[in-house]
């Protein structure tokens, strides 16, 4: 599985990084590298079964426990 994840991310990297390097777009390259690394780390965590913070759980906490907005 880890091999598949690595191959998958290599393919993503090959799709965009070479063009950014070729045209010397270093700002875009830096930002994309940050997002790419985050995605890779998250994929590894997901594969290892480590819980990733859900983007909705924070919102649900604010809506239901802080603002007490709930239908049932």
Partner 1 sequence: MKKSPEQISTAQMMFSVGCFIQGSTLLTYLIHGFAKQEAWIGVLLGCLISMPIIWMYTYLAKKFPGKSLIEIHDIVLGRIAGKIFSALYIYFFLSLVFLNTRDIGDFVGGSLLQVTPTPVVLIMFLFICCWAVRKGVKTMTRYATLFVIIAFVFLLFTSSLLISNMKFSNFLPVFTLPLKNYVQSAHTVAMIPICEIVVFFMLFPNFQNAKGSGKALWGGFAIGAVTLLFNVARDTAVLGPYTPLVTFPSFLVMRIINVGTVFTRVEVLYSVILISLLFFKTAILLYAAVFGISQLLKFDSYKFLVPTFAAIAVIFALAIFDSSMEHADYAITGAAAFYTSFFELILPVITLTVAAVRGFSGKKEIVPS
Which CB atom, from 3 or from 27, has the smaller least distance to partner 1? 27
Give the contact letters, 13-52, x = binds to partner 1 (CB under 8 A), - = no: --xx--xx----x-xx--xx--xx-xx--xx--x----xx
The answer to whether residues 64 and 70 touch, using CB atoms and an 8 Å cutoff, is yes
The answer to whether residues 16 and 31 touch, using CB atoms and an 8 Å cutoff, is no
- Concatenate the DSSP letters of all residues of 35-47 into one string: HHHHHHHHHHHHH
CA-to-CA dists, residue 46 to 11, 19, 32, angstroms: 19, 29, 21
Number of chain positions touching partner 1 (CB under 8 A): 33
Q: Which residues bind partner 1 (CB under 8 A)?
A: 8-9, 12, 15-16, 19-20, 25, 27-28, 31-32, 35-36, 38-39, 42-43, 46, 51-52, 54-56, 59-60, 63-64, 67, 69-72
């Amino acid at each position: 599985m880890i091999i598949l994840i690595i191959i998958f991310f290599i393919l993503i990297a090959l799709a965009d990084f070479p063009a950014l390097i070729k045209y010397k777009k270093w700002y875009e390259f830096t930002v994309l590298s940050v997002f790419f690394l985050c995605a890779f780390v998250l994929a590894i965590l997901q594969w290892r079964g480590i819980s990733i913070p859900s983007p909705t759980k924070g919102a649900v906490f604010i809506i239901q426990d802080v603002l007490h907005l709930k239908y049932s």
